Amino acid sequence: MTDKMTFSKRAEFISKLRELLESGVPPKKLKIVMPHPDHEVDEIVEKYVPPSKLKYFTLAGALSGFIGGFALTIGTVLDWPLITGGKPLISIPAFIVIVFEMTILLGATVSLLGFLILSRLPSFKSIISPEDYGNEFVILMDRRDE
Amino acid sequence: MNRKDADPQDTSSGKKGNPTAIDYKDQLERDILYALKKPTPLYWGGLALAAGLVIWGAISWSIQIRTGLGVTGLNNPVGWGAYITNFVFWVGIAHSGTLISAILFLFRAKFRSRFNRSAEAMTVFAVMTAGLFPLIHLGRVWFFYWLFPYPNQRYLWVNFRSPLIWDVFAVSTYFTVSAIFFYVGMIPDLAIIRRLKEGIGKRIYSILSMGWVGTIKQWRHYNQLYKFLAALATPLVISVHSVVSWDFAMSVIPGWHTTIFAPYFVAGAIFSGCAMVITLVVPMRKMFRLEKHITVDHFDKLARLLLFTSLIVGYAYIVEYTLAFWSGNVYEEGQFIYRAVGDYAFFYWLMITCNVVLPLTLFVKKLRRNISYLFVLSLFVNVGMWFERFNIIVMSLAHDFDPYNFGFYIPSIIELGITFGSFGWFFMFFLIFAKTLPILSITELKEEVHD
Amino acid sequence: MRRRDFMKLMGIASTASLMSSCGVERSTEKLIPFVVPPEEDYIPGEDYYYNSTCTECPANCGISVKVREFNPIKLEGIENHPINNGALCLRGQSSLMRLYHPERIKTPLLKNSAGNFEPTTWENAYSQIIKSMRDSEQNGKDNLYLSGRTTGSLSELIDEFCKVTKAERLPEYETFSYANLREASNIVFGRPEIPNYSLDKSDFLITIGADILETYISPVQLTSRLNKAKREKNFRWTHIEPNASLNGFQASEKIRIKPGSEPYLLLFLINFILKSNLQKNRIPNNILAVLPQVGVGEVESQTGISNQVLNDMAQSLAKATSPLVISGGVSTAQSGGLEIAVLTGLLQWATGMATDGVINFSISENYSSVGSVLDMVNLVNRLKNNEVGVLFISNTDPLSTMPDETGLEQYLEKANLRVAFSDFQNKTTEKCDVILPLSHTLESWGDAEPRNGLVNVIQPTIEPIFDTRSEGDILLSLLRAYGKNQTAAGYQEWLFSGWNEKHGPAFADQFLKKGYAETIPPKIALSLQANRIAEFIRGAKFATAVSDPVLFVTPSLRTFDGRSAILPLSREIPDPLTTVTYGKWVSISKENALELGVKDRDEVRFEIDGTSFELPVRIQPGLAKDVFTTHRDQIDCKLLNIDPRTGETLTALTNFSMTKTGKSVAIPILSGKMDQEDREIIPDHYDDHEMEHHHEVKATLYPEEKYPNYRWSMSIDLESCIGCSACVAACYVENNIPVAGPEQHLRGREMSWIRVQPYYNQKEEAEFLLMLCQQCGNAPCETVCPVYATYHNPEGLNAMVYNRCVGTRYCHNNCPYKVRRFNWFEHEWPEPMNRMQNPDVFVRGRGVMEKCTFCVQRIRKAKDIAKDEGRKVRDGEVTPACAQTCPTEAIVFGNILDKESEVYKKSQSDREFRVLELLGTLPAVHYLRKGEETHES
Amino acid sequence: MSGIQTKLAIAFLVITGLIYVLEYFLPAGQGGAHLFNLLFWIAIIEGSIAVVAVGEVTNGKWVKPYRQELLSVYPLILLIGLLFVIFIPRLEYYPWTEQPGIWLNKNLFIARHVIQLIVVFFIARKFARESINEGQKRAFWGVIYLLAFAISMTGVAFDWLMSLEYPWFSTLFGALFFIEAFYCALALAGIFSFLYKAKFLDTYGESFESARMDIATLLFAFAIFWASQFYTQYLVIWYGNIPEEVSLIYYRTIDSPMREFFYSVVAFNFIIPFITFTYRRMKANYLVFLIVSIVVWVGIAVERLVIIVPRLSINPLILIVEFVIIGLMMIYVIRKRDSFLVKST
């Protein structure tokens, strides 16, 4: 049993939200839908819910890219050592470019992955039956208490 | 909501009385999605033209593949010409996209929200165009996959010391990341279209929007992601054009081998990119009646950016030139004298005029705020930047160390065909984008609205 | 009778077994591909070498032919051959293309009533000829036999043929008949011959107009001898010429003389020698009496040579222990040419060189049976009065090279039947009724006698490609058809029996193996024909310097008199002085260019008494004002005149007018610029600044390369290099380099791996820089290749993996020397040209980069042999094609790690430099700057 | 106001005299110390004003708190001018003086730099006053100053420093140099925020905090930017490996301790600031900020030294003395800022 509150004015919405949270309603019982992000709302919510875990994904991706880059470049030159232009086999200055690009590439793709996982996307339920709230701010509260 | 009245002229709901934020936001959606209405004949004409160019290019390329690179104007001293010029040009165009969306995002510059969507689209399509040219210029394009490090029985890997391999990595990374950036930025807007559309359209857009709801949880991850992507894209954009510049700087050829190339090319890229944004957005703004949302002030900001980058480019020109004589190195001197008075002198001075002299007029506030002037200027800058690359590439090769090897090159009809084809290719995608996806970031515009 | 059985009879199966498929009138069973096992012991993939003779020009160098899978694929000079000593010239190297040329005449041709040629059978052709010969015998007409210079057994056979058929053998026709020279030595010494000059024995050489490095008599011989002399420290060479040829730039000093004023110089020298009364007594008084006295001032003004230069020359001539003066070329081919030649002879006598062995008449060049244009004039007269029945024209093309005065062209029809023996259609054959296709030398048996006491073998190396026959076989068949019963089945048999008679049975074997047989003829005591000389001088009118413009029509280094123009390479390889490849042009001086207001490629019209012709110009630094040069095959020879006294063709055109047509002709000029713009591509000397560079060169951020066994290197001595471009031709043939053709050249797409780059300095002297892949230690091209298609192999070679190349052309862009070549198209090898491809070298396809790799295939072979024998490759065991053919041994190749190797020693010379050394590319090619060694290293 | 001006004038002359004595009457070697101080201080001085200029042009809020302190160093440009004049005799040690070129010859060299310094001084002065008074034209003068700054820094980099290695040259050197100027100016701001913490806090409060964070972020960004440019220059040189060009790096990396110094620059200017400032908490900490700022200064100093030492011998003692003198002068000027650089009412 959920009850739905819709606000056309941002201010009202924010005050209500603050009130709810301060009154000790567990955040997981609330489903807040906004037409666009809002800093103030973030600040309020931050006090009650832990920050996004996305950064770990990004870090992991970037790191693997970094290591993978070195592994690929150095590994291949050692696999079949061919001298070109008198440059040392393991030409770090040249390889840095590859390493850098791979860091970014994996960093970005893994972040995207993380985002999809964390925010439960793509959600087939709402693809099939989209839930839209227009430009209003909506708070859905789960009344059932276990 | 009924799409019949989705017409910006009908701002009644907003006009009369005191418009509430909601009204305004609805209005905003209608204004921007007005672009998705039925295409006009003009639009179809443009699309047809673009497609035609693409076909011309395709035919030219097939001829080249069948008979060999001899059909180009390339020859013994000059091994690279129009193709590599186009490659660098298009990668350059791609840059302002990420710049405007990522760097300006980090610098919290407001005016970005008016341009970022079209800029990002531009980036994706420009990279798609640029990516073709490394293939086109290959002598044996049917072996292009040898440029990728894939395991094979012969234990043959690619040479990671070669700038061309750096290109492969840089460009493909750049494409992936900017595509992600483009798409992620669009998800909430896609959800909006989903809401406004009916029937099959609704289906498609709800799939595209991946069932985005807009819960606070999603928004928080979303913002995180966007920030990270911006943070990753910013160094990426610098690196990509640095790598492109290193295709030349890594060589030993006078006119190519110079340390300033990386920042110089990056600035140049952003410069040409901004110009292209103006070239695209000015007509778009007119066609889709967005004057209300993309104002003169926004263009003014963009013009300042254009001026700034043009100053950097000018700085690079001057440094390059003076140091050639400062150093007393005969080969450098020879090269730069050749540029100013040699076979291609005309194009050299054309480049100087378009990239350094004309943009100086932007110091004048009046001109900065004159949209049609900006549009014309941006066209000049595009031309100028194309020839900048042409000059650097061709002149340096045509006039290197040994006087015996001095030569000359002019593009052949085939090369021109492929060049125009690439423009067709780019504009074709952009036109399709303009009719199918939100051309402005609705969500971000809403964000700026307060009760 | 099958040749093989015959050879067995000869008892030299050893050679026979190898020369399996060579023969005369035989089916071509041996040419079917190798799926069918060969019936003779022959190893596929093996190179077989056969000695033979190059007949591209009358010099007749000895060649050893490399045969692979029954196809000759490369010509190289025979080691220590008395003429060419292992070397070969540009034309010699290219001449292989004559064999495989698709445009060869493939069957006997008969002109039909409509005047077109149509194929016919040999028998038919023979019977036609015999019939017509018989007719002319009946109605009292003479059958005449005209041929190009023919020596050795073939000449004898012709005589026999003429004897039997009562035909008359005419004096032979050669474009360069040296009539003046021969007449002169006839006047001076009573010997109408061209002596053999031992340049190597002289210590001071004066050449007057004689282009000893290009086409003069036996260029390769003279060049290599010159080089031998040069290596002696105290050798000095003064070259005097009115034009600017290759020779001048190589001489110790080049002296530019006003056209036609040579006699004054010679008179001055003679008088000086006499005054210096060393040799006074040698010149009899009756000559002294008539010998004109010339004052220094007069000579100075006439010749335009400064006083002290003259004196210096004369003094060193007087001082020299064994001086040598040679005149020829443009100088003796002028109206006053005979005088010049005679005075030269006189000088030779006066300085005693004629007797001390530098000038050798005992082994004089074999021109005895060669006539002159005068003889052709006679022929024409006989044609005029309908005295000629059958006219055989063998192996010569008078119509395209002879002056018009004779009018041969219009009267040729008057012969009843004109029979041509030829390998290609040319102006003369067009006018004939019967054309019998000649086999190429490489397809036929024979021998050649370039000079007294030297016989070269000619032996087949391949089955005739088309239905052609050698001249010898044709003559024998004709004889048979004429009714003479023959012992010999074919010319080969005739030849062997001939050798047998002359030299005994053991000879042939040796002869074939060695390639030549040399005998020392008795010395000839020369005597001065005092009276004849005196009388000649009395009659002589010594020409004075011509003041108005002169156009010299010189023989061409690339095409000789035009006969070699048919060889694709002779046009593909640029003219070393102007770097023009295809098309015709006239070289003019900067001054004249300014005067006419023309630049390269602008067309000018020449008007000479009535007729006129146009040529595009090419500005050639070093030419004197009002002196123009073009090549024999680039203008219509009808314009030339002859010297009525000797029949020498006069190739110096005067009193013409020049005008600018305003048109511009697209002729390919390969050189971007011919001056160095102070870029020190060839550093002129080491000043401190450069020394700085030298120590800078050490600065590097890379680890030092380690080469386990070999570091292949090359040294090129610019002192010896004469720019003759023989190496270029050799490289083309050895490495299957495609011929790009004029269109591609105009686009700047030549394919040469090695090239001769001329640079003209402020003094307008040319220096030649051989440019080829420098096999850099730190090669800029390698690193930038994305797919490792080019990399540095452990022997220091800049290896090129054609299969791996994807064609980004980045390596080419990044090469400071621009020595890489890209395959813009799939290149054509028209049948049967493809048969001359070297199986050891990859034939590159479209879209692939290619370049020189020091003939890596040869290195491979040498290493295999060394491996089998369990040792390292010895110094001098590997010779790249370019080094192999170089007449001056300017190119030395070897392993620079081996401190004993010659290339290492040369690299230590203080003349050593490397091109663009300041780029730190560490090239493996070490150049030796022109000039003297300042200290021995 | 004239009082302070005369004071400064006298102080400058005294210092100039002092350094002249140090340089030419003591065993100062070839004036390496002198050149080092010139290069080090001019970068900081012109850089600080440039930082403000950028703030004004982009009207960033972060510049406001630091404005007066950063601007107040502008008079020192004159001091540098004077010091440059007494440096002139040292030019003989420059390799190009043997064979002067069109661009590199003593007279032109001296002329262009004296003029440059004077012009820059006046522009800086004008801008400083505009800015402090929040005048209408301050953005305009900001732009003018930045142009002047770019030119003068490039000139200094190429002529004073790079031409020591002649014929070595790198087109990026100028840009790198004024990036560094900017970089150490930001570091100076970092130092200020430690020194004037209290004052700033009670004048600007919260906005100071955010401004400081912005400065820190900028410092962080510049660490990356500097690294990228340094790498760019290194990579191009390393890859081309043209002897004439690698000479700079080559002669500084063949032997110890030069090699260690050379590479330590990367640690000082990139690794340390980068690592520390990746963590928000570190940024927020005043002391850390101070330390990082100083590290950056050290990095720049070491880089200059590494380039100078192999060409011009240095007397370390004199180097330090001169450094201290100029440093003290700077502190003095900054402390006296209120007496010559205040909002005119």
ipTM over 0.85: yes
Q: What share of chain D is helix, strand, coil (3-state, %, to 5)?
A: 85, 0, 15
pLDDT for position C221: 95
How many helices (H) and strands (E) chain C has is answered by 33, 38
User: Judged by CB atoms within 8 Å, which residues 897-926 of C form the interface with B?
Assistant: 915-916, 919, 921
Q: Is the CB of residue C700 less than 8 Å away from at least one CB of chain D?
A: yes
- Mean pLDDT value across residues C516-533: 90
Q: Is the CB of residue C788 less than 8 Å away from at least one CB of chain B?
A: yes
Mean residue pLDDT of chain D comes to 91
User: What does the alpha-carbon distance between residue A90 and residue B150 come to, in Å, rounded to a whole number?
Assistant: 19
Q: Is the CB of residue A86 less than 8 Å away from at least one CB of chain C?
A: yes
* 8 Å CB contact between C604 and C596: yes
- Could you tell me which chains touch chain D, where touching means 3 or more CB pairs under 8 A? A, B, C
Please indicate whether, in this complex, the C-beta atoms of B159 and C788 are within 8 angstroms of each other: yes
Question: Could you tell me which chain D residue has the CA closest to the CA of A94?
Answer: D235
- Local structure of C172: helix, strand or coil: strand
User: What does the alpha-carbon distance between residue C619 and residue C84 come to, in Å, rounded to a whole number?
Assistant: 33
pLDDT for position C706: 87
Radius of gyration of chain B (CA): 23
Dig out the tokens for C551 from the structure: 């156009």
- Could you tell me which chains touch chain A, where touching means 3 or more CB pairs under 8 A? B, C, D
* 8 Å CB contact between C892 and C902: yes
User: What does the alpha-carbon distance between residue A115 and residue A92 come to, in Å, rounded to a whole number?
Assistant: 33
Task: Give the model confidence (pLDDT) of C424-466 as tens digits.
Answer: 999 999 999 999 999 999 999 999 999 999 999 999 999 999 9
pTM: 0.93
Question: Could you tell me which chain C residue has the CA closest to the CA of D253?
Answer: C701
> Higher-confidence residue: C801 or D255?
C801
pLDDT for position C281: 66
Please indicate whether, in this complex, the C-beta atoms of C792 and A85 are within 8 angstroms of each other: yes
* 8 Å CB contact between C796 and C924: yes
User: What does the alpha-carbon distance between residue A130 and residue A119 come to, in Å, rounded to a whole number?
Assistant: 16
pLDDT for position B447: 84
Cα distance from B396 to chain C (closest Cα, Å)? Answer: 10
Q: Is the CB of residue A23 less than 8 Å away from at least one CB of chain C?
A: no
**Which residue of D224, D234, D239 is the best one to mutate when testing the A interface, meaning the one whose CB has the most A CBs within 10 A?**
D239
pLDDT for position C685: 59
Residue C19, pLDDT > 50, answer no
Q: Convert C846-856 to b/e letters by CB count within 10 Å (16 or more is b).
A: bbbbbbbbbbb
Q: Is the CB of residue D25 less than 8 Å away from at least one CB of chain A?
A: no
**Which residue of B169, B176, B192, B207 is the best one to mutate when testing the A interface, meaning the one whose CB has the most A CBs within 10 A?**
B169
Please indicate whether, in this complex, the C-beta atoms of B443 and A100 are within 8 angstroms of each other: no
pLDDT for position C35: 54
pLDDT for position B38: 86
Please indicate whether, in this complex, the C-beta atoms of D238 and C700 are within 8 angstroms of each other: no
Q: Is the CB of residue C599 less than 8 Å away from at least one CB of chain B?
A: no
Q: Rounded to 5 degrees, what are φ and ψ at C649?
A: -80, 130
- Mean pLDDT value across residues C461-490: 90
Q: Is the CB of residue A93 less than 8 Å away from at least one CB of chain D?
A: yes
User: What does the alpha-carbon distance between residue A48 and residue A22 come to, in Å, rounded to a whole number?
Assistant: 9
What confidence category does residue A145 fall into, taking pLDDT thresholds of 50, 70 and 90?
A: low
pLDDT for position C39: 55
- How many interface pairs between A and D have CB atoms less than 8 angstroms apart? 11
User: What does the alpha-carbon distance between residue A81 and residue B202 come to, in Å, rounded to a whole number?
Assistant: 57
- How many interface pairs between B and C have CB atoms less than 8 angstroms apart? 165
- How many interface pairs between A and C have CB atoms less than 8 angstroms apart? 37
Percent of chain D, pLDDT > 70? Answer: 99
pLDDT for position C392: 96
Residue C26, pLDDT > 60, answer no
* 8 Å CB contact between C474 and C421: yes
Q: Is the CB of residue D243 less than 8 Å away from at least one CB of chain A?
A: no
Eight-state DSSP code of residue C682? S
Q: Which residues of D touch A94 (CB under 8 A)?
A: 235, 239
Mean residue pLDDT of chain C comes to 89
Q: Is the CB of residue D103 less than 8 Å away from at least one CB of chain A?
A: no
- Local structure of D312: helix, strand or coil: coil
Percent of chain C, pLDDT > 90? Answer: 75
How many helices (H) and strands (E) chain A has is answered by 5, 3
Please indicate whether, in this complex, the C-beta atoms of C701 and D244 are within 8 angstroms of each other: no
Determine the Cα angle at C360 with ends C354 and C365, to 5°: 130
- Reported as half-sphere exposure (CB side, CA atoms, 13 A), residue D65 has a value of 27
Cβ-nearest to D235 among A85, A86, A93: A93
CA distances from C351 to C193, C360, C530, C586, C886 (A): 20, 15, 16, 38, 33
Task: Give the model confidence (pLDDT) of C53-88 as tens digits.
Answer: 999 999 999 999 999 988 999 999 999 999 999 999
User: Judged by CB atoms within 8 Å, which residues 106-125 of A form the interface with B?
Assistant: 107-109, 111-112, 114-116, 118-125
For D9, other C-beta atoms within 10 Å of its C-beta total 12
Please indicate whether, in this complex, the C-beta atoms of D240 and B238 are within 8 angstroms of each other: no
Q: How far apart are the first and last CA of chain A?
A: 12
- Local structure of C168: helix, strand or coil: strand
Task: Give the model confidence (pLDDT) of C108-124 as tens digits.
Answer: 999 998 989 999 999 99
Please indicate whether, in this complex, the C-beta atoms of A84 and C788 are within 8 angstroms of each other: yes
Dig out the tokens for B224 from the structure: 């995180």
Cβ-nearest to A104 among B21, B166, B177: B177
Q: How far apart are the first and last CA of chain B?
A: 22
What confidence category does residue C937 fall into, taking pLDDT thresholds of 50, 70 and 90?
A: very low
Cα distance from A93 to chain D (closest Cα, Å)? Answer: 6
Residue C137, pLDDT > 50, answer yes
Question: Could you tell me which chain A residue has the CA closest to the CA of B151?
Answer: A76
Task: Give the model confidence (pLDDT) of C796-843 as tens digits.
Answer: 999 999 999 999 999 999 999 999 999 999 998 998 999 999 999 999
Q: Which residues of D touch B311 (CB under 8 A)?
A: 147
pLDDT for position C933: 58
Q: Which long-range contacts (CB under 8 A, 24 or more apart) does A67-71 make?
A: A68/A102, A68/A106, A69/A95, A69/A98, A69/A99, A69/A100, A69/A101, A69/A102, A69/A103, A70/A95, A70/A99
pLDDT for position C352: 81
**Which residue of D230, D231, D233 is the best one to mutate when testing the A interface, meaning the one whose CB has the most A CBs within 10 A?**
D231
- Local structure of C814: helix, strand or coil: helix
User: What does the alpha-carbon distance between residue B375 and residue B373 come to, in Å, rounded to a whole number?
Assistant: 5
What confidence category does residue C20 fall into, taking pLDDT thresholds of 50, 70 and 90?
A: very low
Q: Is the CB of residue B260 less than 8 Å away from at least one CB of chain D?
A: yes
Determine the Cα angle at B399 with ends B395 and B405, to 5°: 135
Most confident of B152-156, C42-46, C405-409, C561-565: C561-565
pLDDT for position C4: 46
User: What does the alpha-carbon distance between residue C574 and residue C756 come to, in Å, rounded to a whole number?
Assistant: 8
Cα distance from C649 to chain B (closest Cα, Å)? Answer: 37
Please indicate whether, in this complex, the C-beta atoms of A84 and C702 are within 8 angstroms of each other: no
Q: Which of C11-25, C549-563, C906-920 has the lowest mean pLDDT?
A: C11-25
* 8 Å CB contact between C438 and C423: yes
Continuous H helices in C353-490: 373-384, 398-401, 408-411, 427-430, 471-482
Paired with C197 in beta bridges are C359
Q: Is the CB of residue B296 less than 8 Å away from at least one CB of chain D?
A: no
User: Judged by CB atoms within 8 Å, which residues 82-111 of A form the interface with B?
Assistant: 82, 84-85, 87, 91, 94-95, 97-98, 100-102, 104-105, 107-109, 111
Please indicate whether, in this complex, the C-beta atoms of D236 and B329 are within 8 angstroms of each other: no
- Mean pLDDT value across residues A56-69: 96
- Local structure of A30: helix, strand or coil: strand
Question: Could you tell me which chain A residue has the CA closest to the CA of B27?
Answer: A135
- Local structure of C236: helix, strand or coil: strand
pLDDT for position C355: 72
**Which residue of D242, D247, D255 is the best one to mutate when testing the C interface, meaning the one whose CB has the most C CBs within 10 A?**
D242
User: What does the alpha-carbon distance between residue D124 and residue C807 come to, in Å, rounded to a whole number?
Assistant: 55
Cβ-nearest to B26 among A9, A87, A135: A135
What's the one-letter identity of residue D36? F
Please indicate whether, in this complex, the C-beta atoms of C787 and B73 are within 8 angstroms of each other: no
Paired with A138 in beta bridges are A6, A33
User: Judged by CB atoms within 8 Å, which residues 204-243 of B form the interface with D?
Assistant: 235, 238-239, 242
Per-residue pLDDT of chain B (451 residues; tens, 9 = 90+): 343 444 444 444 444 446 677 888 888 888 888 888 888 899 999 999 999 999 999 999 999 999 999 999 999 999 999 999 999 999 999 987 887 788 888 887 888 888 889 999 999 999 999 999 999 999 999 999 999 999 888 888 999 999 999 999 999 999 999 999 999 999 999 999 998 888 888 999 999 999 899 898 899 999 999 999 999 999 999 999 999 999 999 999 999 999 999 999 999 999 999 999 999 999 999 988 888 889 999 999 999 999 999 999 999 999 999 999 888 889 999 999 999 999 999 999 999 999 999 999 999 999 999 999 999 999 999 999 999 999 999 999 999 999 999 999 999 999 999 999 999 999 999 999 999 999 998 888 888 877 6
Determine the Cα angle at B21 with ends B18 and B24, to 5°: 85
Please indicate whether, in this complex, the C-beta atoms of B159 and C672 are within 8 angstroms of each other: no
Please indicate whether, in this complex, the C-beta atoms of B259 and D237 are within 8 angstroms of each other: yes
Dig out the tokens for C693 from the structure: 């560079």
Q: Which residues of C touch B168 (CB under 8 A)?
A: 786
Q: Which residues of C touch D255 (CB under 8 A)?
A: none
